């Protein structure tokens, strides 16, 4: 599949968006400090940078980024995700974020509405990039990004079913038995996908394309593991309220016992793939 034939957008509405808001982890401050250094981001009122978060979900990237720029725009095709982002912004007291309904196909029109002297300082894109036409998107962003600014593709760890641990392999096997098919999605975190994104950034005219990895240790309680999983299952495939307890019980029964009270150990490797304009 090429970037010009991106898959149809899944349904991440309702409960899936609620699970996303509660269980999807954010990124540590080091990620945003890296963005500030890479693109010289400025938060000065009135003259600082404008940031765009594509596929913003419930604001895991946009909200911390808001403290480091003048204004951040969160763009997402799912209204329930945007409602969650607005609620999170209100709770955090973030007042310089704008939440808009749209997809990557709307970026050229959105960017053309910006003042000519205020191009984008940075565009951040999380795992949602694998639902977008990345090649066309990068080409659309390049002329709308200020000199020294750029694009950051941020992969916030490997999906819970795709890690190289015994508990992750057991989870994948249980999911494959439930869905009756292989579970192979990497959500854009695979090496081949990252290499393709890097080549596309360079082809679009971005320079100094590089990957920075920020790693740390974490642990997932059974509840957090299930919540994270549910946030990644499209709404039509998520078991109903009545069936979910049995579904959860089958998954947890297939897993080894958590080795510690903290839960299942996880090495989180955050990849920041950046390109400068």
pLDDT tens per residue, range 180-195: 999 988 888 888 999 9
H helix or E strand, kind and range, residue 71:
strand 71-76
pLDDT band at 29 (very low <50, low <70, confident <90, very high): very high
The CATH number given to whatever domain includes residue 39 is 3.40.50.150
pLDDT band at 7 (very low <50, low <70, confident <90, very high): low
- Inter-residue contact 121 to 69 (CB < 8 Å): yes
Per the structure, the count of domains in the chain is 1
pLDDT of 2 > 70? The answer is no
| pLDDT per residue as tens digits for the range 254-269 | 999 999 999 999 999 9
What are phi and psi for residue 195, nearest 5 degrees?
A: -65, -40
Residue 80 belongs to a domain: yes
pLDDT of 1 > 70? The answer is no
Residue 202 belongs to a domain: yes
Residue 167 belongs to a domain: no
Residue 241 belongs to a domain: no
| pLDDT per residue as tens digits for the range 145-178 | 999 999 999 999 999 999 999 999 999 999 999 9
Do the strands 264-276 and 145-156 form a parallel or antiparallel pair, or are they unpaired? Answer: antiparallel
Q: What is the mean pLDDT of the chain?
A: 93
**Which one, of 179, 219, 196, 210, lies nearest residue 4 by Cα?**
196
Its domain, for residue 136, covers 3-159+185-219+267-276
Residue 239 belongs to a domain: no
H helix or E strand, kind and range, residue 111:
helix 107-112
Residue 132 belongs to a domain: yes
| pLDDT per residue as tens digits for the range 132-146 | 999 999 999 999 999
Per the structure block, which two tokens stand in for 227?
């919540």
Q: What percentage of the chain exceeds 70 in pLDDT?
A: 96
pLDDT of 96 > 70? The answer is yes
């Amino acid at each position: 599949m090429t970037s010009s034939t991106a898959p149809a957008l899944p349904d991440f509405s309702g409960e899936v968006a609620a699970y996303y808001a509660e269980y999807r982890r954010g990124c540590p401050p080091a990620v945003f400090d890296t963005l500030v250094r890479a693109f010289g981001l400025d938060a000065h009122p009135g003259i600082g940078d404008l940031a765009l978060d594509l596929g913003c979900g419930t604001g895991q990237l946009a909200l911390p980024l808001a403290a480091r720029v003048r204004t951040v725009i969160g763009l997402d095709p799912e209204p329930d995700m945007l409602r969650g982002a607005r609620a999170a912004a209100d709770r955090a007291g973030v007042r310089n974020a704008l939440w808009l309904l749209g997809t990557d196909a709307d970026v050229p029109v959105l960017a053309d509405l910006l003042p000519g002297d205020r191009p984008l300082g940075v565009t951040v894109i999380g795992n949602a990039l694998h639902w977008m036409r990345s090649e066309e998107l990068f080409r659309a962003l390049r002329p709308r990004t200020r000199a020294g600014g750029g694009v950051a593709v941020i992969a916030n760890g490997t999906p819970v079913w795709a890690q190289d641990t015994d508990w992750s392999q057991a989870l994948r096997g249980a999911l494959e038995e439930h869905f009756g098919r292989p579970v192979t999605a990497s959500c854009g975190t695979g090496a081949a996908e990252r290499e393709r994104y890097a080549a596309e950034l360079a082809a679009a005219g971005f320079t100094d394309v590089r990957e920075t990895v920020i790693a740390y240790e974490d642990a997932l309680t059974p509840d957090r593991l299930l919540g994270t999983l549910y946030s990644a299952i499209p709404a039509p495939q998520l078991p109903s309220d009545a069936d979910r307890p049995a579904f959860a019980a089958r998954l947890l029964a297939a897993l080894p016992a958590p080795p510690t009270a903290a839960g299942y150990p996880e090495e989180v490797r955050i990849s920041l793939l950046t390109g400068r304009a």
